[in-house]
A and B are shown apart, each in its own frame.
Chain A
Amino acid sequence: MSDKKKELKPNTYKFDTLSLHAGYQPHKNAGSRQVPIYQTTSYLFDDVDHAAALFNLERGGHIYSRISNPTVGVLEERVASLEGGTAALATSSGMSAIFLTVMTLCEAGDHLVVSSQLYGGTVNLFRLTLPKFGIKCTFVKPRDTEGFKKAIQKNTKGIFGELVGNPGNEIMNMPEIAKIAHDAGIPLMVDATYQTPYLCKPFEHGADIVIHSLTKWMAGHGSSMAGILVEGGKFDWMQNDKFPTMTKPYEGYHGLSFAEEFGPTAFTMKARAEGMRDFGPCLSPQNAWNVLQGIETLSVRMKKHCSNAEEMVKYLSNHESVAWVSHPSVPDHPDHELAKKLLPNGRGSMIAFGIKGGKDAGVAFINNVKLASHLANVGDTRTLVIHPASGTHSQMDEATLKFAGLSHDMIRLSVGIEDIDDIKNDFEIGFRAARKPRLVSNQ
């Protein structure tokens, strides 16, 4: 036996264990091993005193499922634990999580600096909808790190971006952009839907708020809409006077200062207490439960997603019908080195490629693949394809498409976890059709 003294090591649960257990204690739920679905709108108060205590945020608990629900609460804690965050708030979709984040942070007259490489719906929210609320945005290309700094104004309240841009796979230099944000006393908000916490934990690279569309890889099964915002807990809301709604007494809760009372969970508490109360984009308990089923196998699925994606990158890169391939695993991808640093467990399963023959070839390809599904989603366990210029980003004009880095020959591929040979065989059918677009479309 060795005399060497055993080194002290924390025994907190690791990622794979947390994805199965975090946020839930069976002995507090009739011993139910599976998380129960609390399909209820409201919750009994013990007495008048208890009711008042819940409404005043004097104690934890549930009042009404628009504000919180025990099944949804398990999901929130589970994602917070996986991200290394202090708190989370689940919403009815990823878009509502982004909207709630912005409305918790900003007031009319405020400004945001936003990456230009975003999901089309998000672009429209920032470009067209938020200005109606008096919130203006400046778009900056994700690789233009210095551009983020230059775009910051006196009334800028935060920087927002997708870690890996949709659909062009440009990667934000998160550590550098976080520093720019923090030097200006504002938070960095990152949509990390494409990565999931298995591939990247943005809080470790300086992000302050992380947003997911849980509809995608986190759930995996493509059955349920859900979103979430997660708080890192490090951002000091009291460092300047930019965030009075976080730091000053809030009339809506008897003069409560969220930052003083709740510190590292202040943003989530405000988003729930104010945002869910006033806007109400709550997640249904059934959908929360469905997402929890997916998260149980997150790491297993993500490994297969990434290995299949790397196989597809090789296949597409050598294919005569493919003009170009964009994926961070490709050595000549402009962000290849940054991806190695930020995405050590895999570069994700989103591939963009250009099909020879342009738009017509793209349409023929999409119309003829049989296994791959043509739809407006990503991150399903099944392989998905779409032609962004005619689908997800179709509401953009030519100039906006160009600014967003989109081309008419681009196909967006979300690689599933089917047998890789079956995906390749299916693509061969699509490519054959693409080479004869006119003939196939007339059949």
Chain B
Amino acid sequence: MKFKVNGHEVFASTGGRPFDKKKPLIIFVHGSGLTHMTWVLQTRYFAFHGYNSLAVDLPGHGLSSGKSLKSIEEMADWVSSVIDAVGHKEASLVGHSQGCLVTVECTSRYPNKIKTLSLMGGAGAIPMNPELLSLAENNDPKAVDLMMDWAHGPAGHFGGHPVPGLYHINTGTMLAKSRTIQNTLGVDFRACDNYKNGFEAAKKIKCPTLSILATDDKMCPVKEGKKLASLIDGSQVDIIDNCGHMMLLEEADRVLTVLKKFITTNYPPLSS
């Protein structure tokens, strides 16, 4: 579906079901340089089971217009505006990688709006490798290739996608190259590198929170994810073996199973 936030058109996938204001809202926030497409193996389930499932394209990404937002704080405010724009008062947030920084900041800023928070491959800070940052800011496609290499664990490099026939390293590469790299990945990487408030924001979070971490995650290692989770009262942690940072594709079923249990328990769907 398309709607406007701050005067710019936003695209969000609804998981193949029409948007229904009566249903509780889950917003999925993608990682650096990517799009709503990364959530396809999670969003459709919730859309068919009593939720409004909105996998957004951040401004300037995927099918959304406007320019990429330059800071995590701006993105956090933008997510709050998305809730308003679709006519809801509250939502459950799910983030991946950079999307975790955004949803942590958003939850700390708008505690009354956010009912549950699910973090995948999250950390309190994501400092960027200076060379990788420079490549992305200079529009070098090597930045995407490096990101896809590091983002997949050793097993993920072989493939074996849950959806038959999809080769996810190439799919991720294509998503990240679908818009101008320096205007998406470059801006996102800089925003991640600049963001320093993650640990302080985490301390303010009171809603039920889940962290899904992966043993072979080189971008947001388990140690960093646990450090963030330890600052959030009552936070649950689930660790996936033999999986890298792209857990939502590499181990899509496992992620969905954990996410489903957490969200349906803490933020029940509209019963049919």
Contacts and interface: CB of A to CB of B under 8 A. Distances in A.
A22 B168 CA distance: 11
Interface string A11-30: 11100000001111101100
Interface in B120-147: 129, 131-132, 135, 142, 145-146
Nearest to A13: B157
A58 B160 contact: no
A68 B165 contact: yes
Interface in A55-94: 56-62, 68-70, 72-74, 76-78, 80-81, 84-90
Interface stretch (B41-49, B99-107, B201-209, B222-230): B41-49
A284 interface: no
Contact of B158 (A25, A255, A260): A25
Contacts of B62: 263
Interface in A280-333: none
B189 to A, nearest CB: 14
Contact of A87 (B132, B165, B242, B253): B165
A234 interface: yes
A388 interface: no
Nearest to B11: A260
Contacts of A255: 16-18
Interface residues of B, number: 46
B239 interface: no
A256 interface: yes
B63 A80 contact: no
B155 interface: yes
A233 B171 contact: yes
Contacts of B135: 8
B165 A59 contact: no
A24 B164 CA distance: 11
Nearest to A268: B165
A87 B171 contact: yes
Interface residues of A, number: 57
B236 to A, nearest CB: 22
Contact of A21 (B37, B45, B48, B158): B158
A117 interface: no
A265 interface: yes
A60 to B, nearest CB: 3
B171 A86 contact: yes
B37 A59 contact: no
Contact of A234 (B13, B45, B174, B242): B174
A8 B148 CA distance: 13
B268 interface: no
A233 B170 CA distance: 9
Given A52-B48, A238-B63, A59 B149 contact: no
Contacts of B13: 260-261
A150 interface: no
Most buried by A among B17, B44, B162: B44
A234 B146 CA distance: 20
A8 B146 contact: yes
A256 B162 contact: no
B40 A262 contact: yes
Contact of A59 (B16, B131, B162): B162
B199 to A, nearest CB: 28
Contacts of A45: none
A77 B161 contact: yes
Contacts of B111: none
A56 B164 contact: no
A176 to B, nearest CB: 23
A254 interface: yes
A270 interface: no
A59 B48 CA distance: 11
A4 B35 CA distance: 37
Contacts of A376: none
B224 to A, nearest CB: 21
Interface string B65-89: 0000000000000000000000000
Contacts of B242: 27
Given A256-B16, A272-B165, A58 B158 contact: no
Contacts of B235: none
A261 B35 CA distance: 11
B44 A56 contact: yes
Nearest to A62: B164
Nearest to B249: A60
A12 B160 contact: no
A263 B176 CA distance: 12
A254 B17 contact: yes
A60 B162 contact: yes
Contact of B169 (A12, A234, A260): A12
B167 A77 contact: yes
Given A81-B170, A255-B16, A263-B37, A57 B44 contact: yes
Contacts of B256: 59
Contacts of B234: none
A336 B157 CA distance: 37
A72 B164 contact: yes
Given A53-B48, A86-B167, A262 B37 contact: yes
B237 interface: no
A31 interface: no
Contacts of B18: 255
Given A77-B167, A261-B13, A264-B171, A10 B159 contact: no
Given A12-B148, A68-B164, A77-B166, A58 B157 contact: no
A74 B252 CA distance: 17
Nearest to A57: B44
Given A24-B159, A24-B160, A261 B16 contact: yes
Given A25-B155, A87-B171, 7 more contacts: A9-B146, A22-B167, A24-B158, A27-B155, A70-B164, A73-B164, A85-B170
7 contacts: A12-B148, A53-B45, A57-B44, A59-B162, A73-B165, A255-B17, A263-B37
Interface of B: 13, 15-18, 35, 37, 40-41, 44-45, 47-48, 62-63, 129, 131-132, 135, 142, 145-146, 148-149, 155, 157-167, 169-171, 174-175, 178, 242, 252-253, 256
The 7 closest A-B pairs by CB, nearest first: A60-B162, A60-B163, A73-B164, A76-B165, A233-B174, A68-B164, A80-B167
